[in-house]
């Protein structure tokens, strides 16, 4: 009986294997030299054409969208060996090892991608070659980001992940299904280093500020008589002070165009001293007549940059309209104030770039490691660029005050951005294409602040982004992986008996309006 069964099954299996082989067998490679390049431009998805790429980036796998029956790609550089890939499918996956060798051999030089597409008649057509430049500047190898569904009112699943940009390896730092689906955000590091980090936990038993300082794990309640829990942090380069803003954010919805919008109704800045466990501020950064937000330290720690606008009632002075209705007139200026880290004294306040001058609302300043440039968001209004499609990345020369929008922007929102440790690469979130889902993009920046064409973070599956519904949030480049023990972090956040209660600097006067202001999100009635 068993033999009979085997006799029937064996040929079937062999036929199946034969069929599979005949379908997936190697594609014949065209003789490239014999084909003249056509004027047809290759359509690559994602668009990895005419870019400057880091010598240590993972393979830029792509899909050739030019129709064809088979595909052939030859990647070559002045030095090193060729990479040849043939495929019946338009997905091109470049072998990691050969790719790395090619990039390392051709630092500072161009690499060329020749592509051929086989027509239905069996004829190979050669497309216009793609030339990309391999920079000599490496990119920081780790990118840390939060991933979640586009958030409206509810959240459910989110996670903090780190991606090795030299490979396709992504590891989970923490997911919120480990902490009863509480929200967390604002992961922040000290100058691209992973040893010290902080992040906020926003709901339930774990609520509070988490600080990892080497081997120390702390849960801190930053709320004092002056302020509710803080947001939008920036680590001082010494790793011992964190600048925060205290915000009163509300979300509302539109009937046409972009669905969501956020308005900040009140905000101020405070400084948390980790060693002293003390919250302090100064009238210049928490003035009752202004909304101050998005602090960012200069790399030398001797200046604090932030964004500021008039209080909302100023926008409707002399009118009986609700001030919140003026949301589309609210624009922020870029401000700088000197700071003496030794004494903690503040210097003079100055406007670096006013919204009146540039006609844009300036938010989320990030200062280049050499202190020369500030990368900012520039939108036609508001304080929440990720929801505003007019938001672009802007560059401000901090020495001359000259500003411009680099050629890295799209018609959709470009928002959260940061510098690599060398200052030669930037990462930013862009919603280009979908308008709804942010993806991390990288661009090269030279010493004059000029940028190369941006490209999306490569994935092993080149069609990955087409059906990936999560949005990438707050991408941060790091020089090394985050050594985070999730168990220790979770234990710390659940341990409310040992929560560190921040004290308020006795020199700071209590302000009722700030202490009572809500922090984080809530939904406005309209």
| Residue 365 near residue 356 (C-beta atoms within 8 A) | no
Q: Whose Cβ is closer to another protein: residue 338's or residue 433's? A: 433
Q: Collect all residues with Cβ–Cβ distance below 8 Å to 400 and sequence separation of at least 6.
A: none
Of positions 300, 350, 466, 483, contacts another protein by CB under 8 A: 466
Q: To 5 degrees, how large is the angle CA 57–CA 59–CA 63?
A: 135
Minimum separation from the CB atom of position 15 to another protein (A): 25
Of 408, 336, 331, residue with least CA distance to 371: 336
Q: Collect all residues with Cβ–Cβ distance below 8 Å to 111 and sequence separation of at least 6.
A: 75, 76, 77, 102, 103, 131, 132, 133, 134
* 426 CB neighbour count, 10 Å cutoff: 27
Reduced to 3 states (helix: H, G, I; strand: E, B; else coil), residue 489 is helix
Minimum separation from the CB atom of position 219 to another protein (A): 12
Which segment (227-235, 419-427, 429-437, 472-480) binds another protein by CB under 8 A?
429-437
Cα 472 to chain centroid, rounded? 7
Q: How far apart are CA 426 and CA 186, in angstroms?
A: 18
Of positions 344, 433, 481, 520, contacts another protein by CB under 8 A: 433
Dihedral sign, CA of 475, 476, 480, 482? negative
In the structure encoding, which two tokens stand for residue 115, read together? Answer: 């592509």
DSSP character for 107?
Answer: T
Minimum separation from the CB atom of position 2 to another protein (A): 18
Reduced to 3 states (helix: H, G, I; strand: E, B; else coil), residue 176 is helix
Minimum separation from the CB atom of position 162 to another protein (A): 16
499 sits near another protein (criterion: CB under 8 A): no
* 252 CB neighbour count, 10 Å cutoff: 14
Minimum separation from the CB atom of position 207 to another protein (A): 14
254 sits near another protein (criterion: CB under 8 A): yes
Q: Whose Cβ is closer to another protein: residue 490's or residue 500's? A: 490
Q: To 5 degrees, how large is the angle CA 140–CA 386–CA 197?
A: 40
Size of site (CB under 8 A) for another protein: 44
Minimum separation from the CB atom of position 281 to another protein (A): 31
521 sits near another protein (criterion: CB under 8 A): no
487 sits near another protein (criterion: CB under 8 A): yes
Of positions 14, 19, 131, 523, contacts another protein by CB under 8 A: 523
Of positions 10, 436, 450, 501, contacts another protein by CB under 8 A: 436
Q: Whose Cβ is closer to another protein: residue 261's or residue 292's? A: 261
| Residue 269 near residue 496 (C-beta atoms within 8 A) | no
The dihedral over CA atoms of 39, 40, 46, 51, expressed in degrees to the nearest 10, equals: 0
491 sits near another protein (criterion: CB under 8 A): yes
Q: How far apart are CA 297 and CA 308, in angstroms?
A: 15
Minimum separation from the CB atom of position 254 to another protein (A): 5
349 sits near another protein (criterion: CB under 8 A): no
Minimum separation from the CB atom of position 91 to another protein (A): 14
| Terminal Cα distance for the chain, rounded | 75
Of 443, 379, 445, 442, residue with least CA distance to 412: 379
Residues 162-201 that bind another protein (CB under 8 A): 177-180
Residues 147-166 that bind another protein (CB under 8 A): 149-157
Q: Whose Cβ is closer to another protein: residue 347's or residue 520's? A: 520
253 sits near another protein (criterion: CB under 8 A): yes
- Quick note: the x/- pattern for another protein over 257-286, rule CB under 8 A, is x-xx--------------------------
498 sits near another protein (criterion: CB under 8 A): no
Q: How far apart are CA 93 and CA 501, in angstroms?
A: 52
Minimum separation from the CB atom of position 462 to another protein (A): 14
Minimum separation from the CB atom of position 328 to another protein (A): 10
Minimum separation from the CB atom of position 487 to another protein (A): 4
Residue 144 Cα distances to 187, 189, 474, 482, 508, angstroms? 9, 10, 8, 8, 35
Minimum separation from the CB atom of position 307 to another protein (A): 24
Cα 222 to chain centroid, rounded? 26
Q: Whose Cβ is closer to another protein: residue 10's or residue 172's? A: 172
Of positions 321, 447, 498, 510, contacts another protein by CB under 8 A: 321
What is the DSSP track for 372-426? SEEEEEEESS-S-GGG-TT-EEEEEETTT--EE--TT--SS-EEEEEE-TTSSEE
Of positions 101, 284, 316, 324, contacts another protein by CB under 8 A: 324
494 sits near another protein (criterion: CB under 8 A): yes
469 sits near another protein (criterion: CB under 8 A): yes
Which segment (59-67, 250-258, 271-279, 332-340) binds another protein by CB under 8 A?
250-258
- Adjacent-strand bridge partners of 439: 430
Of positions 22, 256, 400, 448, contacts another protein by CB under 8 A: 256
Residues that bind another protein (CB under 8 A): 149-157, 177-180, 252-257, 259-260, 321-322, 324-325, 433-437, 466-469, 486-487, 490-491, 494-495, 523-526
């Amino acid at each position: 009986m068993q033999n009979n069964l085997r006799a029937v099954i064996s040929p079937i299996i062999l036929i199946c294997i034969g069929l599979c082989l005949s379908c997936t067998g190697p594609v014949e490679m065209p003789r490239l030299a014999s084909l003249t390049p056509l004027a047809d431009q290759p359509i690559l998805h994602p668009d990895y054409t005419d870019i400057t790429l880091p010598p240590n980036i993972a393979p830029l796998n792509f899909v050739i969208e030019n129709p064809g029956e088979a595909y052939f790609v030859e990647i070559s550089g002045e030095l090193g060996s060729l990479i040849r890939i043939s495929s019946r499918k338009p997905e091109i996956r470049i072998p990691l090892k050969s790719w790395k060798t090619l990039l390392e051999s051709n630092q500072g030089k161009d690499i060329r991608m020749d592509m051929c597409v086989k027509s239905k008649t069996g004829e190979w057509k050669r497309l216009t070659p793609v030339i990309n430049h391999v920079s000599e500047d490496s990119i920081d190898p780790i990118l840390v980001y939060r991933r979640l569904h586009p958030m409206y009112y509810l959240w459910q699943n989110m996670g903090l992940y780190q991606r090795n940009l030299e490979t396709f390896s992504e590891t989970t730092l923490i997911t919120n299904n480990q902490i009863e689906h509480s929200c967390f955000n604002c992961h922040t590091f000290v100058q691209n280093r992973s040893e010290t980090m902080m992040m906020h936990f926003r709901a339930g038993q774990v609520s509070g500020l988490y600080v990892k300082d080497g081997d120390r794990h702390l849960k801190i309640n930053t709320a004092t008589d002056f302020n509710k829990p803080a947001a939008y942090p920036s680590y001082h380069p010494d790793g011992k002070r964190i600048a925060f803003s205290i915000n009163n954010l509300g979300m509302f919805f539109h009937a046409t165009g972009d669905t969501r919008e956020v308005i900040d109704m009140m905000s101020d800045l405070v400084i948390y001293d980790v060693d002293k466990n003390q919250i302090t501020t100064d009238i210049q950064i928490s003035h009752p007549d202004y909304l101050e937000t998005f602090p960012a330290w200069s790399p030398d720690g001797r200046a604090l940059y932030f964004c500021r606008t008039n209080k909302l009632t100023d926008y409707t002075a002399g009118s009986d309209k609700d001030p919140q209705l003026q949301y589309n007139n609210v624009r922020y200026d870029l401000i700088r104030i000197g700071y003496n880290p030794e004494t903690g004294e503040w210097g003079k306040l100055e406007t670096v770039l006013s919204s009146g001058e540039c006609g844009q609302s300036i938010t989320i300043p990030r200062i280049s490691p050499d202190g020369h440039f500030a990368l900012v968001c520039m939108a036609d209004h508001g304080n929440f660029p990720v929801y505003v499609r007019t938001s672009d990345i802007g560059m401000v020369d901090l020495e001359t005050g000259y500003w411009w929008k680099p050629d890295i922007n799209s018609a959709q929102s470009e928002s959260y951005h940061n510098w690599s440790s060398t200052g030669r690469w930037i990462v930013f979130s862009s919603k280009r294409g979908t308008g709804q889902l942010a993806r991390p993009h990288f661009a090269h920046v030279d010493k004059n602040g000029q940028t190369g064409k941006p490209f999306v973070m490569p994935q092993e599956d080149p069609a990955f982004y087409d059906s990936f519904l999560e949005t990438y949030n707050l991408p941060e480049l790091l020089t090394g992986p985050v050594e985070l023990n999730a168990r220790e972090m979770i234990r710390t956040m659940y341990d409310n008996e040992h929560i560190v209660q921040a004290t308020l600097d006795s020199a700071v006067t209590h302000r009722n309006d700030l202490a009572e202001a809500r922090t984080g999100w809530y939904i406005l009635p309209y």
